[in-house]
Structure 1
Amino acid sequence: MVSILEAQKAVNIIYPDSDEQPMADNTKQFRWIMVIHHNLEWLFAKDENVFVAGDLLWYPVEGNNKLRQAPDVMVVFGVKKGDRGSYMQWKEGGVTPQVVFEILSPGNTLTEMNRKQVFYNRYGVEEYYVYDPDKNDLSGWLRGDNGLDVIETMADWVSPQLGIRFDLSQEALQLFRPDGVPFASYSEISQRLEVALQEVEQERQRAEQERQRAEQERQRAERLAERLRTMGIDPEAVD
């Protein structure tokens, strides 16, 4: 009887899709979240079993709707892409998000970040990265035998799971895909797309001009052949 009542209680638990907290405190934090999120989505766009999410509530334990975190960006290998109101781990085959990013803002407290690190360590995150864009400071942790261990040197660090490289040699962090292509903002991608579309249009115009010139040459050759016929000359016999 007790187990039946507990099961009914678990079914009736509501897992909110929102923690009523803002996604970002300022434009810089929001921009970094978007850059990391979108570029990771592009990187794994062809793999249906890689789920990338931003500011999505993650509930690791069924029956406890108070135990949750909303990573700025998280990557989950082994689950299908698709829309979700939240990430309820027990509904995802028990798969833990393997990689988590947090982007700091002035409003983040040390206590808050310590609490997040304890959560990610306890519930199986493999890689955890924290970036402070105001200080251009990057910290990372990689799971070892005893949980998340500090990565001593982040300069040119390559993520074992993602294959991306972290470059701190500039005034701001730069991230690179495994093929060496740098991460880009939506605005930069839009500008590149616009340039590419302009080049395509220019090539189309050049091809159209060539087609028109070829057509003019064909018509000129036909007029010349007709003139030769009126003179009693077979144009095909003319060398």
Structure 2
Amino acid sequence: MVRELSKSTDIIYPDSDGQPMADNTKQFRWIVVIKENLELLFADNPDVFVAGDLLWYPVEGNNRIRRAPDAMVVFGRPKGDRGSYKQWEEDHIAPQVVFEILSPGNRVSEMIQKQAFYDYHGVEEYYVYDPDEVDLAGMIRGEGRLDPIEDIQGWVSPRLGIRFQLEEETLKIFTPTGDPFLGFIELDRRRQEAEAERDRQRQRAETAEEEHQRERQRAETAEAEHQRERQRAETAEAERQRERQRAETAEAQLKAMEQRLRELGLDES
């Protein structure tokens, strides 16, 4: 038993099978579109791992049992870089959803072998798209095996929530919110537009804050002026009171003098 374990640990699991990711630009573009948009779709979920053209080893101890799906999604595994997907190191969780993009170089026997591999190793949803023929096929697990999806038009993936729409010239894929999967250039353009809008919103917020500060300053200035006016009014009222007091004092003094004059018989009247 110890000898067998030693042999197993000595096995090398290459990170590459020596095959190109794609045979042509159209196939490569579709692989990137699907993989990147799935990454965006689950960007906020730390326990969904999305990969493109990554070797998947389902069986420990056998490095010949392997496939590199064009795109795959694994629920229940954390994001992060990997040289390959060794299932026994991933809590024995197999990819639930797999995509393959056909090219003229794909052989029927190869696709049959891939289907058998994904079926045997527990894939729940398997989608194959031929961009040259604009043809999409899908399979979903039921009764312990992958069964064909009879009507793929408008099909919604149970796991991903995305919807497939075949049109005359291309396949369109929509997110659960109805947004289309976009190519890299369009994604970058929308990113730039979103950043520009964010900057505009921030500028508007800063302008509004500056105007608020100016309004507050004007209000404080008006309040200070109001305080000064009230102070001036109070000062004027105090001065008026003093003047009246002085007038009353002068009046009293005059009356006292007149009284004194009468007492001295000097009152001319």
TM-score range, shorter chain: 0.7 to 0.9
Indicate yes or no: 2:95 matched with 1:97.
yes
User: Shift in Å at residue 200 of structure 1?
Assistant: 3.8
Cα pair 1:158 1:165 within 8 Å, conserved:
yes
Q: Indicate yes or no: 2:195 matched with 1:197.
A: yes
Distance in structure 2 (CA, Å) of the matches to 1:100 and 1:212: 53
What is the distance in 1 between the residues matched to 2:118 and 2:41?
A: 24
Q: Name the counterpart of 2:182.
A: 184
Aligned residues: 231
Match of 1:165 in 2: 163
Q: Does 1:107 align with 2:105?
A: yes
**Residue 111 of structure 1: how far off its partner (Å):** 1.0
Query: d(CA) in 1 for partners of 2:148 and 2:18?
Result: 31
Q: Gapped runs of 5+ residues in structure 2?
A: 234-269
Q: Paired residue for 1:11?
A: 9
Do the aligned residues in 2 keep the contact of 1:57 with 1:87 (CA within 8 Å)?
yes
* Equivalent residue number for residue 50 of structure 2: 52
**What is the match of residue 87 of structure 1?**
85
Q: Is the 8 A contact 2:134 2:168 kept in 1?
A: no
> Aligned residue for 2:115?
117
Q: Could you tell me how far 1:185 is from its partner in structure 2?
A: 1.6
2:19 is matched with 21
Task: Quote the Cα distance in structure 1 between the aligned partners of 2:89 and 2:187.
Answer: 35
Match of 1:144 among 139, 142, 163: 142
What is the aligned-residue RMSD (CA, Å)?
A: 2.6
Q: What is the alpha-carbon distance in structure 1 between the residues aligned to residue 156 and residue 56 of structure 2?
A: 26
Could you tell me how far apart the structure 2 residues matched to 1:200 and 1:86 are? Answer: 38
The CA deviation at 1:82 is 1.2
Q: Secondary structure at the match of 2:186?
A: helix
Determine if the alignment matches structure 1 residue 132 to structure 2 residue 130.
yes
Does the 8 A contact of 1:155 with 1:169 survive in 2? no
Secondary structure in 1 matching 2:100? strand
Tell me the SS of whatever aligns to 1:157: coil
Q: Which runs of 5+ in 1 are unaligned?
A: 235-239
Q: Which amino acid aligns with 1:183?
A: F
**Percent sequence identity over aligned pairs:** 59
Using the size of structure 2 for normalisation, the TM-score is 0.76
Give the CA deviation at 1:208: 6.4
Q: CA deviation at 1:199?
A: 3.2
- CA offsets, 1:13-55, max 9 Å, x none? 0000000111111111111111111111111112111111110
Deviation at 1:7, TM superposition (A): 0.9
2:38 is aligned to: 40
Structure 1 residue 194 displacement after superposition: 1.8
One-letter amino acid of the counterpart of residue 54, structure 2: L
**Counterpart for residue 69 of structure 1:** 67
Distance (whole Å) between structure 2 residues aligned to residue 134 and residue 30 of structure 1? 13
1:9 is paired with a residue whose SS is helix
Q: Deviations along 1:107-139, whole A, 9 cap, x unmatched?
A: 111111111011101111110000001111000
93 and 209 in structure 1: CA distance in 2 versus 1, 3 angstrom threshold: closer
CA contact (8 A) 1:100 1:127 kept: yes
Of 52-61 and 179-188, more deviation after overlay is shown by: 179-188
Give the Cα–Cα distance (whole angstroms) in 2 for the partners of residues 10 and 185 of structure 1. Answer: 42
Instruction: Please tell me whether Structure 1 or Structure 2 has the larger radius of gyration of its CA atoms.
Output: 2
Deviations 1:176-206 (A, max 9, x none): 1111111112211211122233334445555
Distance 1:174 1:11, change over 3 A: same
Q: Shift in Å at residue 80 of structure 1?
A: 1.4
